[in-house]
Amino acid sequence: QAIKQIAQLYAVEKEARGKSPEERAALRLAKAKPAFDDLELWLQAQLRKISGKTKLAEAIRYALNRMP
């Protein structure tokens, strides 16, 4: 599931290439924000399923702390 969401983010960036800064911002708000929101929820759910002391948990917390 996370791979699909990340692929969506890359697709948004590909679509944004060549557009004005204003158009890129609008596109990201419309398409990337929902994907980030879904990814954040998925990461939070995965974090609840694993031991908090693992490297995976550390990586998930790192990602969550850097979400836009």
Q: Give per-residue pLDDT as tens, 10-62.
A: 999 999 999 999 999 999 999 999 999 999 999 999 999 999 999 999 999 99
Measured distance CA(55)–CA(27) in Å, rounded: 34
State the sign of the Cα–Cα–Cα–Cα dihedral 66, 64, 18, 26: negative
Total number of domains in the chain? 1
pLDDT tier at 68 (50, 70, 90 boundaries)? confident
The residue assigned the tokens 């060549």 is 18
Domain that holds residue 45: 2-65
